[in-house]
């Protein structure tokens, strides 16, 4: 199979699994077993798996531009000042970004300091499988508990800085333990304190912009920009694939959670975790 087609498949898987709370790492670790690039260096391969996230992030920017871009709004319902240049700045959106940045701080600090350490320690089939299963069980438990109580937070504006920080601490778990799923961890944290399913999903999408963009740019900077022509095409293909798939997956999830809970993703995570354990156990037996 040509490497460009492999990049297309990796981008497709990234675009699906990054936004659904089912762990992109859990899927990519299996996909790597069957699809390996032949025309790239090991360093490029490691960078590629992270930087294709930029394509997925751009899907959030495109879909939610009006909700996350605070500048240049002529008919502003919440201007910073009644007149002048500050009247073109939306106070509510700037406040939302303040909460997003607060939520991202724990993962950003730990990621910068210990990213490679955690990856070397926990990026293996056993750790990834356990994270898949544990958080899958967590989704089922939280949704069962939430059946008996009403949601407390039903809009983005109702998320406080304290709530944002709490959700950010769950995002920290995803930064430390591959297989947890960044979206899965933050959604689970939000649900546990009474955030509605749709608001939990939307806030998770916004958190992804600084976190994933930052991680991708950091990985790209460490690798450098010395691509071969083929490597540049492969990276662009993966990112574009992730972008277009993410557009549809994000829309799907927002519609899905209005009528359904997250338990189906919990069961799926448990099944995938068991599959990963069994696959690599059988593989080790045959070596």
Dist. CA 270–CA 239, nearest whole Å:
28
**What pLDDT sits at residue 179?**
80
58 touches 216 (CB < 8 A): no
| 143-167 average pLDDT score | 92
155 touches 56 (CB < 8 A): no
Residue 156's Cβ-side half-sphere holds a number of Cα atoms within 13 Å equal to 18
- What's the structural domain count of the chain? 1
CA 176 to chain centre: 14
CA 261 to chain centre: 19
Percent of the chain scoring above 90 in pLDDT = 48
Q: What is the pLDDT of residues 31-63, one digit of tens each?
A: 888 888 888 888 888 889 889 999 999 999 999
pTM for the whole thing?
0.88
153 strand-pairing partners: 195
Q: Token digits for 65?
A: 């531009």
State the first-to-last Cα distance of the chain, in angstroms, to the nearest integer. 25
**What pLDDT sits at residue 41?**
83
**What pLDDT sits at residue 279?**
87
206 touches 60 (CB < 8 A): yes
Dist. CA 204–CA 46, nearest whole Å:
25
Dist. CA 23–CA 62, nearest whole Å:
23
Looking up tokens 């490691």, which residue turns up?
A: 46
- Residue 145 structural domain: 3-286
Q: What is the pLDDT of residues 200-249, one digit of tens each?
A: 999 999 999 998 888 888 888 888 878 888 889 999 999 999 999 999 99
Q: What is the pLDDT of residues 92-107, one digit of tens each?
A: 999 999 999 999 988 7
């Amino acid at each position: 199979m040509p490497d460009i087609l492999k990049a297309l498949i990796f981008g497709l898987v990234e675009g699906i699994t990054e936004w659904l709370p089912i762990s992109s790492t859990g899927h990519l670790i299996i996909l790597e077993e069957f699809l390996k690039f032949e025309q790239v260096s090991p360093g490029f391969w490691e960078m590629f798996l992270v930087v294709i996230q930029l394509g997925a992030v751009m899907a959030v920017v495109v879909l939610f531009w009006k909700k996350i871009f605070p500048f240049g709004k002529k008919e502003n319902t919440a201007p910073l000042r009644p007149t002048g240049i500050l009247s073109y700045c939306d106070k509510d959106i700037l406040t939302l970004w303040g909460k997003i940045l607060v939520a991202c701080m724990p993962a950003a600090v730990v990621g910068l300091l210990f990213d490679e350490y955690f990856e070397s320690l926990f990026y293996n089939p056993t750790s990834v499988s356990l994270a898949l299963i544990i958080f899958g069980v967590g989704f089922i438990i939280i949704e069962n508990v939430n059946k008996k109580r009403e949601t407390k937070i039903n809009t983005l504006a109702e998320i406080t800085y304290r709530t944002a920080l709490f959700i950010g601490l769950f995002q920290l778990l995803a930064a430390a333990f591959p297989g947890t799923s960044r979206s899965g961890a933050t959604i689970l944290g939000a649900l546990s304190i009474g955030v509605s399913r749709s608001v939990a999903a939307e806030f998770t999408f916004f958190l992804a912009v600084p976190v994933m963009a930052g991680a991708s740019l950091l990985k790209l900077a460490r690798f450098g920009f010395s691509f071969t022509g083929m490597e540049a095409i492969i990276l662009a293909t993966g990112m574009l694939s992730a972008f277009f798939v993410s557009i549809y997956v994000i829309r799907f999830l927002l519609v899905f959670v209005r009528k359904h809970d997250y338990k189906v993703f919990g069961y799926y995570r448990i099944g995938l975790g068991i599959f990963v354990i069994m696959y690599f156990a059988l593989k080790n037996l045959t070596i």
